[in-house]
Amino acid sequence: MKLFDGTLTRVERSLDVRLLRHTVLAGNVANLDTPGYKPKDIDFASAMSAVMNGGEMARSDGGHLDAEGNAAGGAAGQSNLPGLRVIESGGASPSIDGNAVDLDRTMASLAENAIQYGASAKAATKKLGILRYAISEGNG
Amino acid sequence: MRIDGGSIDLHIKDTGIRDIAPPADKPAAGASFAATLGDAVGSLEKMQTAADKEVDAVAMGGGNLHEMALALEKADIGMRLAMKVRNKLVEAYQEIMRMGV
Amino acid sequence: MDFFSALRISGGGLSVERTRVNLATSNLANAETTRTAAGGPYKRLDPIIEAVPFNDLLPGSPNAPSAAVVSSIAADNTPGRRVYSPGHPDADPEGFVTFPNVNPIHEVVNLMSASRAYEANSTAVETLKSMALRGLDISR
């Protein structure tokens, strides 16, 4: 019985990609003073399409569900997102020590990413809430 | 009913009422009510197990918070659906039992 | 992939910046130290910061987010300024005293830059926290 639709699956995947993007950007911020460091990023649009089309959104965690509630096999706790690549983004022009991280742009990207994550989380919450309401016939 | 020469053949016309028991031949895929119900209960089991796995991963350190929340919420919805189906079934059964023969 | 990888990366960044602050304050405090246990004037200290790939998020990806670590602390061997001061207890036979190679303005700039980077890493942590709470809210 298929309870959860494609939109919810997309939202779930977007949450994962957003989290990964935060980690990459946090790595840029942590390496603000590393000589020779070039900043990294994830191209969200291509990452999402790669994740959605790369097989049946294969997840290597045994606990994760596909759209039908079937668990995929694999090691618990590790989520493998196929098709995701960390790219080296064009940063600011390098400073004398070769570090190319643009702090202002990075902080702005972090903020934008967090807002998008919040939006996806809200969407998931609401969709599941609607489903619950429907099943409980309005009784909470 | 057919009257033929000196004999009367009585054929009860097939009115289309079948046995109450399920037909011996395999029903079309997914069409059997029992199969659908079995699927629903099976998914419920999977959802609960999956939620447990996520919770364990988080409880032991690490783990993915939003995946845990999603799995828990889905397990919740699955359980509610199962309860609703059960309640409706019980209601229907009671309704049938109330019917006079 | 989990939230805690991003936290570890940001935590590492905070630690790196704190080390920079500590070294800058040490250099400033010892700007006039002409005598040390090792003999000779104080030598200013520099952190050697390296980017370390964080591989468990995307196994098999050619690129990975990077954490930052201070791999070592190096002493700056540039000779300090020599001042002619024959009465000074640390004067060499020619009457010159060698002062530490610390330029206070340089150190203060490092201090400010490290402080700004520390704040940026701290913001990354706050951002992650708010994301995590929104994610958890999916299940009220």
Residue B88 pLDDT more than 50?
Answer: yes
Q: Which residue of C has its CA nearest to B57?
A: C2
> Dihedral, CA atoms, A66, A72, A75, A76, nearest 10 degrees?
40
Could you write out the three-class secondary structure of C71-118? EEEEECCCCCCEEECCCCCCCCCCCEEECCCCCHHHHHHHHHHHHHHH
Does the distance separating the beta carbons of C132 and B62 come in below 8 Å? no
pLDDT at A90: 66
Report residue C118's pLDDT band, with 50, 70 and 90 as the boundaries: very high
- How many Cβ contacts (< 8 angstroms) between chains A and C? 139
Higher pLDDT, C117 or A139: C117
Against a cut of 0.80, is the pTM above it? no
Q: How far apart are CA A82 and CA A63, in angstroms?
A: 17
Q: How far apart are CA B54 and CA B63, in angstroms?
A: 7
pLDDT at A71: 37
pLDDT in tens, C15-47: 999 999 999 999 999 999 988 888 889 999 999
- How many Cβ contacts (< 8 angstroms) between chains B and C? 29
List of residues 6+ apart from C121 with CB closer than 8 A: A26, A29, A30, A32, C10, C13, C14, C17
Residue of C2, C3, C139 lying closest to B73 (CB–CB) = C139
Query: What's the Cα-to-Cα distance from A77 to each of A64, A66, B8, B58, rounded to whole Å?
Result: 9, 16, 78, 8
Does the distance separating the beta carbons of B76 and C4 come in below 8 Å? no
- Distance to chain B for C16, nearest Cα, Å: 23
Neighbours of A38 (CB within 10 A): 18
Does the distance separating the beta carbons of C63 and A85 come in below 8 Å? yes
Q: How far apart are CA A44 and CA A48, in angstroms?
A: 6
Q: How far apart are CA B9 and CA C68, in angstroms?
A: 97
Residue B64, phi then psi, degrees to nearest 5: -105, 120
Q: How far apart are the first and last CA of chain B?
A: 30
**What number is the ipTM of this complex?**
0.85
For residue B72, list chain C residues with Cβ-Cβ distance below 8 A.
139
> Which letter does DSSP use for residue C139 in this model?
-
Report residue C1's pLDDT band, with 50, 70 and 90 as the boundaries: low
pLDDT in tens, B44-85: 889 999 999 999 998 888 788 999 999 999 999 889 888 888
Residue B89 pLDDT more than 80?
Answer: yes
Using the Cβ of C109 and the Cβ atoms of chain A, whether some distance falls under 8 Å is answered with no
pLDDT in tens, C53-111: 887 666 666 677 889 999 999 998 898 889 998 888 888 888 999 999 999 999 999 99
Residue ranges, chain A, pLDDT below 70: 1-2, 54-85, 90-92, 138-140
Q: Which residue of C134, C136, C137, C140 to mutate against A (max A Cβ within 10 Å)?
A: C134
